[in-house]
Amino acid sequence: MPRFSPESPSPRTAPGPFARARARLGVRGWGAALLAAFVALALGASGALAQDWGEAASPSRARMVMEDSNPPIVVEADWVGYSESGETLEFKGGVVITRGDEYVFGDRALWHEPTRSAEIAGNVRVVTRDFTATAQRATMNMDLMLAKIYDGRAFFPARHYYVAGSLLERRGPETLYVSHGVFTTCDGPEPSWSLTAEKLVVNRDGVAESTGVTVRNAYFPMLYLPYLLVPVKTERQSGFLLPQFASSTRDGVMLALPFFWALKEDYDLTILPIYRSSRGLALTLEARYNLELGEGIWIGTFLRDRKDNFYELKSEGFASRNTREHFWLRAQNNWEVAGWDLNLDLDVVSDPLFIYAFRNDPDGFFYSRDLFGRYFGRTLNEELDPTRLSTFFAQRSSEDAYFRGTLSYARNLYRAGNVDTLQNIPSLFYSVVSRPLALGLFGAEAAAPRWSLDLRYDYYDRRTDGASFVDETGHRLIVAPSLFWQTDLAGAFSLRTSAALDFTLYNPDGHRPTAQGREPHDSFEEGLVGEAEVELSTTLGKVYYHDDGTATQHLFTPVVSFTFRNGPDQDRLPFFDRLDRQLNQRTLRYGFWNTFTLRSPARIGPEETEGYEYLQLLRLGVFHSYEFASNLKWADRSYARYFTSGYFDKGSGPLEIEAEANFNPYVTARILSSLDGRSGAFTSHDFSLNLKDGRGDSLNLIYDFEKPRRERGPITQDAVNQARGQLNVNFGGGWSTMMAARYDMEEKRSLETLISLRYNTQCYGLSLVWEDSHDDRRVAFLVNLLGLGSFGNSSSTSGNIY
């Protein structure tokens, strides 16, 4: 039963019918009203009532509680009245209706008992956990959960969007109808952009279905669509996404209109047709699923090209080829079945030009690479890599054992018929991981030695023809027990030792390469290699305290190690990968790590405790090696590539330098360099410099250099000598620019240049992009409407060349 609060006296007791009305009001009335999506309810003129009113008025505010509602409904007002028939209640003056954490405010409120409907009028405002709403007048039926809200506007903070209309009509618990509606994510009475619709239907699942749609800015219409689905919550929703477009000298005008289809809660499909005026129509299907079994993404693209595309294969002994039908299937999957982790990755493409040609487009390489990296933490082979690898991977691990099985298929796009490409089907690996052997050798406090056992089986196959020089295939079994021990000596030195035996058994077919040519393999070949390594290190350090409360720690860690590997001559064995043909080794390696770390008092916030912040100012490593073993008899240039070794003669090894400097939070630099100790020439550089400031400006510079060399096996690696850079400048007022470039230092020519000008406000952004590469020049325009999506060519604005 409703009751007046003790501090609010009631001058008149309501008759029986009024008491009954109040009792029924508690459960069926206001509770249903506050469950409505827009309970911002309003009432017309109170003169519509022509009844004899009782009243409850007082200098103090009246307060009524509907206790038979859960949670109770509390109504406060300056004045409360009722009709003599008991069919109508009226509240006036600062009306506040509360139910739990939901509030409704208005100037006046009426309740009609016979129709079970309520009216609220005058400065109506609703506050809930999900939205706030304002209106001038509304009516609703509590039992049927129907409502009509006139001149209403609602704000949903979770996705920062507004919905307004001349009529907001709730047609049951699952549907909200808006007549002449407006949707926007912009604040203020005059939004920078808005979506107006003749009819807007918002369903309970969070999708707004609209007809007669016009997308407009603050001044004029920009785009008309007869039909559009707009997601109004974070979950997936079916519907057309906004179009993307660009223009290039090679492909002509590009137009893409993606459609997202939320088939069910656990899987969906994106259909992406892309029309290029000079190339034709391409179709991409992107399917995703997330089931109890696991998750995966499959993307397939097909294009029947209008242009003939030629690529040269003369270096591989083949003539030029052309292709018009392009396809590319890529997929990544993670599953878990009965304690097994399963992965399936696919990368199947028709020709080497397709991935590179459209790498920046919505169906291109960079989109797929970033998508897979974001969801699975692994990515595709680089776009210029002609070898595309598809793999099925299964693994299972326990506390001290591990098993992995792999099926892989490699396709070299530059090899006609995939001739000579080595296939590893299958590869099985089992490891007993690091079990203790015995008690510590130097007392109870010393660490005990630990042993491991690795077992590996591989089967290698390849397709060959009459021109093939290497045709080795067959089975390989490796048994590799090992010991590892690490302990402290005299509390000052760290000693690490390891020893291993690699017994390898082959059942090969075909011919092995030799310095004189080729020789047929025996039915079985075996190799036994022993390896041991000893490493000794120590750390010297000192802390320097400064007057400003900061301190700098200096650590100097010298390291010396010796690696010994010995076995019989390996030239009779097959060569499949880096585990084969391991030459003798007697390598002394020595160097140091030098680090400086700054400690400063932490910046204390309102909820933070006292502490310290640490910044590693410098980390410098310098290492050199010397090789005592000689393998000169295998050093022939054409034959040396069939061995796992860097040097074939005794003498100085490479000088390796690694440095990382953080001068302050705004300036960082990193360099990795390798110097050939015999020729005195650098063989590789990897240098990066990063500058930034507090307002968002940044400059990133990278220099890559790698001397051409022979890889292990029949693949030759080209030289790399490139400089890359990216500059971001924030002009203020929402304006910014990004410039990125890639330059070939060897050939003295620009490879790619990208410049974009951006403008961003609270609810929308604009980007103008110019891109120039060796075979194409492109201009793109992107409009990003916050909360609605983007149209233009978003891939071209990401600075992927960096």
Per-residue confidence at 444, pLDDT binned at 50, 70, 90? Answer: very low
Contacts of 599-606 with C-beta under 8 Å, sequence gap 24+, read 599/550, 599/551, 599/552, 599/553, 600/549, 600/550, 601/549, 601/550
Give the whole-angstrom CA distance, residue 379 versus residue 199.
Answer: 44
What does the pLDDT look like over 108-145, one tens digit per residue?
Answer: 988 777 776 778 898 888 777 777 888 888 776 655 55
356: helix, coil or strand?
helix
Which pLDDT value is given to residue 275? 93
* Cα 597 to the center of its chain, rounded Å: 32
Which pLDDT value is given to residue 496? 94
Which pLDDT value is given to residue 58? 45
Is residue 766 within 8 A of residue 334, CB to CB? The reply is no
In degrees, rounded to 5, the angle at the alpha carbon of residue 153 between the alpha carbons of residues 152 and 158 is: 145
Tokens of 558: 């010298």
Task: Read off the DSSP letter of residue 715.
Answer: P
What does the pLDDT look like over 62-96, one tens digit per residue?
Answer: 887 767 667 777 778 888 887 776 678 888 888 88
Letter string b/e over residues 716-751, b meaning 16 or more CB atoms within 10 A of that residue's CB: eeeebbbbbbbbbeeeeeeebebbbbbbeeeeeeeb
Which pLDDT value is given to residue 602? 77
Name the residue with tokens 């052997």.
437
707 Cβ contact list (under 8 Å, min separation 6): 681, 682, 683, 684, 719
The alpha carbons of the chain give a radius of gyration, in whole angstroms, of 37
Which pLDDT value is given to residue 787? 60
Which pLDDT value is given to residue 22? 37
Which pLDDT value is given to residue 514? 81
Surface-to-core class of residue 630, CB atoms within 10 Å of its CB (0-12 exposed, 13-18 middle, 19+ buried)? middle
Give the whole-angstrom CA distance, residue 255 versus residue 305.
Answer: 16
Q: Which of 634, 645, 637 is nearest to 712 (CA)?
A: 645
Per-residue confidence at 28, pLDDT binned at 50, 70, 90? Answer: very low
Look at residue 743 and tell me whether its pLDDT is greater than 60: yes
Is residue 561 within 8 A of residue 585, CB to CB? The reply is no
Lowest mean pLDDT among 228-232, 597-601, 737-741: 228-232
* Cα 504 to the center of its chain, rounded Å: 41
Does 465 or 232 have the greater pLDDT score? 465
Is residue 568 within 8 A of residue 527, CB to CB? The reply is yes
Look at residue 711 and tell me whether its pLDDT is greater than 90: no
Asked whether the bond before 191 is cis by omega within 30 degrees of 0, the reply is no
Lowest mean pLDDT among 458-462, 519-523, 714-718: 714-718
Which pLDDT value is given to residue 127? 79
720: helix, coil or strand?
strand
Letter string b/e over residues 265-301, b meaning 16 or more CB atoms within 10 A of that residue's CB: eebbbbebebebeebbebebebbbbeeeebbbbbbbb
42 Cβ contact list (under 8 Å, min separation 6): 106, 119, 120, 121, 122, 124, 135, 136, 137, 138, 139, 149, 150
Which pLDDT value is given to residue 207? 65
Give the whole-angstrom CA distance, residue 341 versus residue 262.
Answer: 27
Which pLDDT value is given to residue 128? 74
Mean pLDDT, rounded, for 7-25: 34
Q: Which of 102, 105, 7 is nearest to 63 (CA)?
A: 7
Which pLDDT value is given to residue 476? 97
Tokens of 578: 């880096």
Do strands 88-99 and 102-112 pair parallel, antiparallel, or not at all (unpaired)? Answer: antiparallel
Look at residue 792 and tell me whether its pLDDT is greater than 70: no
659: helix, coil or strand?
strand
Lowest mean pLDDT among 26-30, 77-81, 351-355, 720-724: 26-30
What does the pLDDT look like over 211-268, one tens digit per residue?
Answer: 888 888 788 887 788 887 766 654 555 667 767 778 888 888 888 888 888 788 888 9
What does the pLDDT look like over 646-694, one tens digit per residue?
Answer: 678 889 999 999 999 998 889 999 999 999 888 888 889 999 999 999 8
Per-residue confidence at 15, pLDDT binned at 50, 70, 90? Answer: very low
Is residue 393 within 8 A of residue 406, CB to CB? The reply is yes
Task: Read off the DSSP letter of residue 573.
Answer: S
Q: For residue 483, give the H/E element and its range.
A: strand 473-489
Give the whole-angstrom CA distance, residue 323 versus residue 304.
Answer: 9
Name the residue with tokens 């008309």.
224
Which pLDDT value is given to residue 790? 52
Which pLDDT value is given to residue 20? 32
Mean pLDDT, rounded, for 420-428: 93
Which pLDDT value is given to residue 551? 94
Mean pLDDT, rounded, for 42-46: 30
Per-residue confidence at 504, pLDDT binned at 50, 70, 90? Answer: very high
Q: For the chain, how far is it from start to end, CA to CA, in angstroms?
A: 71
Q: Which of 140, 82, 138 is nearest to 115 (CA)?
A: 140
Give the whole-angstrom CA distance, residue 212 versus residue 221.
Answer: 13
Per-residue confidence at 357, pLDDT binned at 50, 70, 90? Answer: confident
Look at residue 798 and tell me whether its pLDDT is greater than 50: no
Name the residue with tokens 């090894």.
653
Q: Which of 268, 269, 267 is nearest to 290 (CA)?
A: 267
Q: Which of 623, 489, 485 is nearest to 561 (CA)?
A: 623
Asked whether the bond before 226 is cis by omega within 30 degrees of 0, the reply is no
Lowest mean pLDDT among 196-200, 337-341, 446-450, 475-479: 446-450
Mean pLDDT, rounded, for 3-26: 33
What does the pLDDT look like over 611-648, one tens digit per residue?
Answer: 788 899 999 999 999 999 988 888 776 777 788 876 78
Mean pLDDT, rounded, for 465-479: 90
Mean pLDDT, rounded, for 411-416: 85
Mean pLDDT taken over the chain: 80
Contacts of 376-385 with C-beta under 8 Å, sequence gap 24+, read 376/297, 376/332, 376/334, 378/332, 378/345, 380/330, 380/347, 381/347, 383/355, 383/356, 383/359, 384/356
Which pLDDT value is given to residue 69? 65
Q: Which of 787, 795, 751, 670 is nearest to 363 (CA)?
A: 795
Do strands 207-217 and 682-692 pair parallel, antiparallel, or not at all (unpaired)? Answer: unpaired
Number of H helices, E strands in the chain: 4, 47
Give the whole-angstrom CA distance, residue 725 versus residue 801.
Answer: 9
**Single pTM value for the model:** 0.70
Which pLDDT value is given to residue 639? 78
Which pLDDT value is given to residue 3? 32
Lowest mean pLDDT among 5-9, 79-83, 350-354, 509-513: 5-9
CA distances to 133, 317, 463 from 415, rounded to whole Å, are 66, 9, 11
Lowest mean pLDDT among 62-76, 148-162, 390-404: 62-76
Tokens of 59: 């200098």
Which pLDDT value is given to residue 799? 44
516 Cβ contact list (under 8 Å, min separation 6): none
Looking at residue 673, its amino acid is S
What does the pLDDT look like over 107-116, one tens digit per residue?
Answer: 998 877 777 6
Look at residue 753 and tell me whether its pLDDT is greater than 90: yes
Residue 595: HSE in the Cβ half-sphere, 13 Å Cα cutoff: 14
797: helix, coil or strand?
helix
Q: How is 79-94 classified by DSSP, letter by letter?
A: EEEEETTSSEEEEEEE
Q: For residue 211, give the H/E element and its range.
A: strand 207-217
Which pLDDT value is given to residue 144? 58
Is residue 323 within 8 A of residue 764, CB to CB? The reply is no
625 Cβ contact list (under 8 Å, min separation 6): 587, 588, 589, 590, 652, 653, 654, 677
Is residue 572 within 8 A of residue 514, CB to CB? The reply is no
679 Cβ contact list (under 8 Å, min separation 6): none
* Cα 440 to the center of its chain, rounded Å: 46
Which pLDDT value is given to residue 686? 93
